Structure 1
């Protein structure tokens, strides 16, 4: 009998409730995700995401950014902490920090982020309200490779959600979040299986370069 393929080691960075972390944990438990979450690191103490990780038996660490004199000093310490776990992939799951170019370059092509908009639209914060105010017919969520440009790396996958006339930012956010919990584990699975890569500044799936919007799906339940 041949040895089973070793699951890819993944480090997850969080700042809050960790709902996308929970989606990844659930994927590991179900056997659908061929990864091992080696550690969960938060830049904020006492957040729900740390509890989720502890409940799943995953090592947790807190690196409070307030304890560092500069952004660069924090990122250097974070980089050393991550690398001690030798991950094949770093996953940002609600990690609310702007990362330095040195940090993003170190993990180029092996760090994913999820952003609640159809990138390149609505980079930054308050995306749901901005989509409503702009009169968008569709909104959604993107998983992308992380580069030095904030929310600007090549998109791997998007889920599109219709904007309803009855929507406010809270209602729209809930529908978008349901799709987050579907497409983030899927992107991580593709990466762990070697199907998803970043090639010459573009996302590649199964050997084919993806369009700017990545692999796009329309949410069936929105």
Structure 2
């Protein structure tokens, strides 16, 4: 059974989907703890509903990002997770934290990486006039959404889209990709160490179109 710690900063819709999936006794992973950098993160309510322990490590409580990272890492390691998921976690982890958790550290992103990295991905796609955006799952490295891509899928931008409507269509894809990635990791069909070493990136049906 794969043990998972999820880090969130906001509503936790991906977390909720993962908790729902893990409620099935045959799902090969369990969320053992949920952490946040914001005590007001709405997603903590999902963890509480499912009886999953939570922890908070706020950056404002520390004198440096490195000290914050050390405290965050200590909280994560208390749970001895096999996998850590950044899901709407809006802080860049210090290199020491990435090094300690890698390669078993993945991130969800609402764009078809390497297009539109960063925290404004949906808005950036619209402002660029893109006809497509997407969702991606990556292995975390020290860059901003620059790690090896393990899954991604296109989502069309439709006339009249705004940030809210486009993001609403991306989220279900992001959730599905995340749950499948966790399944693949738990079942051994996706090796994160191999992905990190090879810089592997997923080839999707969209990319293989003639």
Which is richer in strand? Answer: 1
**Structure 2 length-normalised TM:** 0.92
Give the distance between the partners of 2:190 and 2:203, measured in 1 at CA: 11
Asked if 1:127 is matched to 2:121, the reply is: yes
1:143–1:157 contact (8 Å) kept in structure 2: yes
Give the distance between the partners of 1:54 and 1:215, measured in 2 at CA: 37
Provide the residue aligned with 2:73 in structure 1. Answer: 79
Count of residues in Structure 1 that have an aligned counterpart in Structure 2: 204
Secondary structure in structure 2 of the residue aligned to 1:216: coil
Which is richer in helix? Answer: 2
Question: Where in structure 2 are the equivalents of 1:105-184 lying within 5 Å?
Answer: 105-184=99-178
> Which residue of the other structure, out of 64, 70, 83, is the alignment partner of 2:58?
64
Give the distance between the partners of 2:127 and 2:73, measured in 1 at CA: 38
Report Cα offsets for 1:174-220 as digits up to 9, x if no partner: 100121121111111111111112325336xxxxxx4x3x14356xx
Secondary structure in structure 2 of the residue aligned to 1:48: coil
Structure 1 residues without counterparts, runs of 5 or longer: 1-6, 204-209
Secondary structure in structure 2 of the residue aligned to 1:102: helix
> Which residue of the other structure, out of 84, 88, 108, is the alignment partner of 2:82?
88
Using the TM superposition, give the Cα deviation of residue 32 of structure 1 relative to its aligned residue in structure 2, in angstroms.
Answer: 5.5
Moved over 2 A (4+): 30-33, 200-203, 215-218
1:109–1:197 contact (8 Å) kept in structure 2: no
Cα distance change of structure 1 residues 77 and 30 upon mapping to structure 2, 3 Å threshold: same
Using the TM superposition, give the Cα deviation of residue 62 of structure 1 relative to its aligned residue in structure 2, in angstroms.
Answer: 1.3
Using the TM superposition, give the Cα deviation of residue 92 of structure 1 relative to its aligned residue in structure 2, in angstroms.
Answer: 0.7
1:24–1:33 contact (8 Å) kept in structure 2: no
Give the distance between the partners of 2:151 and 2:125, measured in 1 at CA: 19
Secondary structure in structure 1 of the residue aligned to 2:74: helix
Structure 2 residues without counterparts, runs of 5 or longer: none
Give the distance between the partners of 1:15 and 1:125, measured in 2 at CA: 12
Give the distance between the partners of 1:215 and 1:85, measured in 2 at CA: 34
Using the TM superposition, give the Cα deviation of residue 46 of structure 1 relative to its aligned residue in structure 2, in angstroms.
Answer: 2.6
Moved more, 62-71 or 131-140: 131-140
> Which residue of the other structure, out of 175, 192, 195, is the alignment partner of 2:186?
192
